[in-house]
């Protein structure tokens, strides 16, 4: 047994000594298993250690004078163990193959649904669910998780994309705007490189701006669509499936705004965006080609 803050319990009656010794040994075994990346042992020991630590934390304060004096130390140490079980599950999960990652993160989610490690780990967790063919489980998982983590960009992205797929335009726009705000306010994790962080942040921002821009464009909210889609463009380059719709709605938005304000330059911007859209194969190509011609024709009639 490793000597710990709970070593003081050796002076107590037999009951507390047994509990303290077992908890301390389980904690040390969990630390060893986590260091060895032994997922099977981490899974077993994290659950056991957490249950034991929570029994101490939620237990009644002792009346014995000696035990009562040591009680704050026991509680603090038990909370330390409880927190480590969360870390052990997360750290082991993200270094494991997808099926094991899903298993361990699922345990963490059930055991500590508000853990800070879930907030950090939803991106690999959701990716692993996809890899093991459990896409059907993602929507319900995210709906539940976002209650505890309303500003998690990975969860917001799933919510915004799901609402868009279901043609829930207002809901999609709301989640997309929250995604942009969350991405801009999120701090880089210490373990992540600056380059990786910028790439990840770019995915969040690109999708958030794109969904808001496309959905506002479909609602003929031209100024909002124009603003969001212009912001999206740097992040979605090289993705034709996103660029096509973005350029289509940018063309329409700038054309309409130009007509409303008698701004020939903006009408021609709409034509330029439409020409760029027409160069991308897809369902928007033909419409953009025709739009570009019409926009140029009108611009020629403007002073």
Residues in the chain: 303
Q: Which of 132, 94, 97, 123 is nearest to 203 (CA)?
A: 123
H or E segment and range at residue 126: helix 116-131
Give the separation between CA 82 and CA 79, rounded to whole angstroms: 5
- Determine what percent of the chain is predicted with pLDDT higher than 70: 94
Instruction: Determine the pLDDT at residue 67.
Output: 78
Q: Give the pLDDT band of residue 13 (cuts 50, 70, 90).
A: very low
Residue-wise pLDDT tens digits, 85-131: 999 999 999 999 999 999 999 999 999 999 999 999 999 999 999 99
For residues 105 and 112, what is the distance between their CA atoms, to the nearest angstrom? Answer: 10
Start-to-end CA span in the chain (Å): 88
**Long-range contacts at 139-144 (CB < 8 A, ≥ 24 apart):** 141/109
Sign of the dihedral through C-alpha 118, 124, 126, 131: negative
In which residue are the tokens 């880089």 written?
Answer: 188
> Which tens digit of pLDDT belongs to each residue from 228-272?
999 999 999 999 999 999 999 999 999 999 999 999 999 999 999
Q: How far apart are CA 188 and CA 167, in angstroms?
A: 33
280-295 pLDDT, tens per residue? 999 999 999 999 999 9
Distance CA 118, CA 70 (A): 32
Q: Is residue 159 a contact partner of residue 144, using CB atoms and an 8 Å limit?
A: no
pTM over 0.95: no
Instruction: Quote the pLDDT of residue 19.
Output: 60
Distance CA 92, CA 21 (A): 25
| Beta-carbon count within 10 A of 147 CB | 10
Q: Which two tokens stand for residue 289?
A: 């080609």
Structural tokens at position 150: 């309303």
Measuring CA to CA, which residue among 215, 212, 244 is closest to residue 231? 212
For the chain, the structural domain boundaries read 238-303
Closest to 253 measured CA to CA, from 215, 224, 275: 224
Distance in angstroms (rounded) separating the CA atoms of residues 196 and 95: 17
Give the DSSP letter of residue 136.
G
The per-residue pLDDT for 303 is 80
| CA distances, 108 to each of 78, 114, 167 (Å) | 17, 9, 33
Instruction: Give yes or no for a contact between 277 and 268, defined as CB atoms under 8 angstroms apart.
Output: no
Residue 4 has pLDDT above 50, yes or no: no
């Amino acid at each position: 047994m490793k000597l710990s803050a709970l070593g003081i319990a050796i002076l107590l009656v037999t009951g507390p000594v047994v509990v303290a010794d077992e908890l301390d040994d389980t904690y040390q075994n969990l630390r060893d298993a986590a260091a060895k990346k032994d997922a099977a042992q981490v899974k077993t020991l994290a659950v056991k250690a957490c249950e034991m630590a929570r029994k101490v934390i939620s237990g009644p304060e002792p009346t014995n004078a000696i035990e009562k004096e040591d009680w704050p130390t026991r509680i603090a140490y038990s909370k330390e163990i409880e927190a480590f079980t969360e870390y052990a599950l997360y750290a082991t999960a993200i270094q494991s193959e997808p099926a094991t990652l899903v298993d361990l993160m699922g345990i963490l989610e059930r055991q500590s649904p508000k853990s800070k490690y879930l907030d950090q780990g939803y991106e690999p967790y959701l990716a692993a669910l996809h890899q093991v063919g459990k896409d059907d489980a993602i929507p319900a998982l995210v709906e539940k998780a976002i209650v505890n983590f309303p500003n998690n960009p990975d969860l917001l992205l799933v919510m915004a994309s799901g609402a868009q797929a279901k043609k829930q335009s207002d809901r999609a726009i709301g989640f997309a705007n929250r995604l942009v705000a969350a991405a801009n306010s999120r701090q880089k994790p210490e373990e992540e490189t600056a380059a990786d962080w910028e790439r990840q942040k770019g995915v969040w921002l690109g999708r958030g701006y794109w969904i808001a821009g496309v959905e506002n464009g479909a609602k003929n909210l031209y100024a909002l669509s124009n603003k969001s889609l212009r912001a999206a463009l740097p992040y979605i380059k090289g993705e034709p499936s996103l660029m096509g719709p973005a350029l289509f709605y940018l063309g329409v938005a700038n054309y309409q705004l130009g007509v409303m304000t008698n701004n020939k330059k903006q009408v021609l911007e709409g034509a330029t965006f439409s020409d760029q859209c027409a160069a991308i194969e897809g369902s928007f190509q033909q419409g953009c080609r025709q739009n570009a011609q019409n926009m140029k024709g009108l611009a020629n009639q403007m002073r």
